[in-house]
Structure 1
Amino acid sequence: MKSPLSVYQDKIEQYQTALSSIKKKLFASSMLRLAVFLVFAFLVYYFFGNTSLVLLFIFLGIAGFLFLVSRHTDLQQEKEKLKQLIALNETEIKVLQRDFHHLPNGKEFVNPQHEFSQDIDLFGDRSFFQYLNRTALASGKQKLADLLSSNDIHQIKEKQEGIQELAEKIDFRQEFTAIANMVKAKIKSSIILDWLNDYQAFVPSIFKWLPQVFSIVSLSLLIALSLDYIHWWYFAGWFAIGWLIIGRFSKKVNELSHYLGEVQNTFQQYHLLLELIETATFEAEFNQEQQNRIHDEQKKASLLLKEFSKTIDALERKNVLFFGQAISGFMLWDLWKAYELEQWMNQHYNRVENWFEVIDFFDAYNSLGGFAFNHQQYTFPKIQQNQVILKTTEAVHPLINPTDAVTNDYQINKEEFFIITGANMAGKSTFLRTVSLQIMMANVGLPVCAKTCEYSPIKLITSMRTVDSLADEASYFYSELSRLKFIVDEIKNDEYFIILDEILKGTNSTDKAIGSRKFVEKLVNSHSSGIIATHDLSLCEVAKELPQVKNHYFDAEIINDELHFDYRFKDGICQNMNASFLLRKMNIVDS
Structure 2
Amino acid sequence: MNRALKFYEDEISKNEDRIKDLNKIINIISIIRLGIVLLVIAIGYYFFKTENIVLLILSIVIGLAFFLIIAIFHNKKIRDKKESQLIISINRRGIDRINGNFKNVEDKGEEFLDEKHPFTSDLDVFGRNSLFQMINSTKTKFGREKLSEILSLKDIPSKDEIVKKQEAIKELGEKVKWRQELEVKSTLKKSGLKDIDKLLEWANSKGEIKPIFKIVPYLFIALTIISIVLVTLRILPITYLILVFMINYVVVKVLTKDLSEVISLFDSHKKDIEAYTNLLSLMNEEEFNSELLKDLKAKLIDGNKSAIKEMQALKSLVDWLGDSTGNAYYLLLNVTILSDTFILRNLEEWRSLNGSKLKGWLEVMGEIEALASISNLAFDFDSWCYPEIYNEDKVEGIEVAHPMLGVKAVSNSFELNKKEGITRKVALITGSNMSGKSTFLRTIGINLLLSYIGAPVCAKSFSCSIFSIYTCMRTKDNLEESISSFYAEILRIKILIEAAKKGEKVFFLLDEIFKGTNSRDRHEGAKVLINQLVNNGAMGLVSTHDLELCDLEQTRNWIKNYNFQEYYKDSKIKFDYKLREGKSKTQNAVHLMKLAGINFDENS
Same fold (TM over 0.5): yes
Deviates more, 1:500-509 or 1:418-427: 418-427
CA distance in 1, matches of 2:273, 2:183: 16
Q: Aligned-pair distance for 1:484?
A: 0.7
- Name 1:153's counterpart in structure 2: 157
- Name 1:5's counterpart in structure 2: 5
Find out whether 1:132 has 2:138 as its counterpart: no
Which of 33, 37, 52 is the equivalent residue of 2:54?
Answer: 52
State the identity as a percent.
Answer: 28
CA contact (8 A) 1:274 1:302 kept: yes
Residue 186 to residue 513, structure 1, CA distance change in 2 (3 Å): closer
- Name 2:336's counterpart in structure 1: 330
Find out whether 1:17 has 2:17 as its counterpart: yes
CA distance in 2, matches of 1:280, 1:555: 52
Q: Aligned-pair distance for 1:166?
A: 1.0
CA distance in 1, matches of 2:380, 2:136: 13
Which of 88, 101, 115 is the equivalent residue of 1:99?
Answer: 101
CA distance in 1, matches of 2:114, 2:322: 43
CA distance in 2, matches of 1:565, 1:408: 17
Which of 488, 496, 502 is the equivalent residue of 1:487?
Answer: 496
- Name 1:451's counterpart in structure 2: 460
Which of 305, 315, 328 is the equivalent residue of 1:309?
Answer: 315
After superposition, what is the alpha-carbon deviation per residue over 1:406-457, rounded to whole angstroms, capped at 9, x for unaligned? 4334344567122222222222111111110111110111111111112222
CA distance in 2, matches of 1:126, 1:321: 45
* Counterparts of residues 41-190 of structure 1 (less than 5 Å): 41-48=41-48, 49-103=51-105, 104-150=107-153, 152-154=156-158, 155-185=161-191, 188-190=194-196
Residue 381 to residue 256, structure 1, CA distance change in 2 (3 Å): same
CA distance in 1, matches of 2:145, 2:92: 24
- Name 1:204's counterpart in structure 2: 210
Find out whether 1:215 has 2:221 as its counterpart: yes
CA contact (8 A) 2:140 2:192 kept: no
Find out whether 1:400 has 2:410 as its counterpart: no
CA distance in 2, matches of 1:35, 1:233: 30
Residue 298 to residue 150, structure 1, CA distance change in 2 (3 Å): same
CA distance in 2, matches of 1:211, 1:28: 43
Q: Aligned-pair distance for 1:351?
A: 2.4
Aligned residues: 590
Which of 567, 576, 582 is the equivalent residue of 1:572?
Answer: 582
* Counterparts of residues 144-543 of structure 1 (less than 5 Å): 144-150=147-153, 152-154=156-158, 155-185=161-191, 188-197=194-203, 201=207, 203-208=209-214, 210-229=216-235, 238-239=244-245, 241-296=247-302, 298-320=304-326, 323-387=329-393, 389-402=394-407, 405-413=410-418, 416-493=425-502, 494-543=504-553
Residue 99 to residue 566, structure 1, CA distance change in 2 (3 Å): closer
CA distance in 2, matches of 1:541, 1:289: 53
Secondary structure, aligned partner of 1:117: coil
CA distance in 2, matches of 1:174, 1:276: 11
Q: Aligned-pair distance for 1:61?
A: 3.2
Q: Aligned-pair distance for 1:381?
A: 0.5
CA distance in 1, matches of 2:339, 2:533: 72
CA distance in 2, matches of 1:438, 1:321: 54
Secondary structure, aligned partner of 2:469: strand
For 2:600, the aligned partner's letter is: D
Deviant stretches of 4+, over 6 Å = 231-234
CA distance in 2, matches of 1:469, 1:320: 52
CA distance in 2, matches of 1:288, 1:352: 20
Q: Aligned-pair distance for 1:236?
A: 6.3
Q: Aligned-pair distance for 1:369?
A: 1.2
Q: Aligned-pair distance for 1:110?
A: 1.9
Q: Aligned-pair distance for 1:463?
A: 0.8
TM-score normalised per structure 2 = 0.90
CA distance in 1, matches of 2:242, 2:567: 98
CA distance in 2, matches of 1:457, 1:53: 79
CA contact (8 A) 1:239 1:329 kept: yes
Structure 1 residue runs of 5 or longer lacking an equivalent are none
Q: Aligned-pair distance for 1:298?
A: 3.4
TM-score normalised per structure 1 = 0.92
For 1:122, the aligned partner's letter is: V
CA contact (8 A) 2:553 2:560 kept: yes
Secondary structure, aligned partner of 1:309: helix
CA distance in 2, matches of 1:240, 1:409: 80
After superposition, what is the alpha-carbon deviation per residue over 1:288-344, rounded to whole angstroms, capped at 9, x for unaligned? 222222244635433432332232232344434665554334322222222222322
CA contact (8 A) 1:278 1:295 kept: no
CA distance in 2, matches of 1:6, 1:86: 14
CA contact (8 A) 1:186 1:262 kept: no
Deviates more, 1:560-569 or 1:361-370: 560-569
Q: What value does the CA root-mean-square deviation take over the aligned residues?
A: 2.7
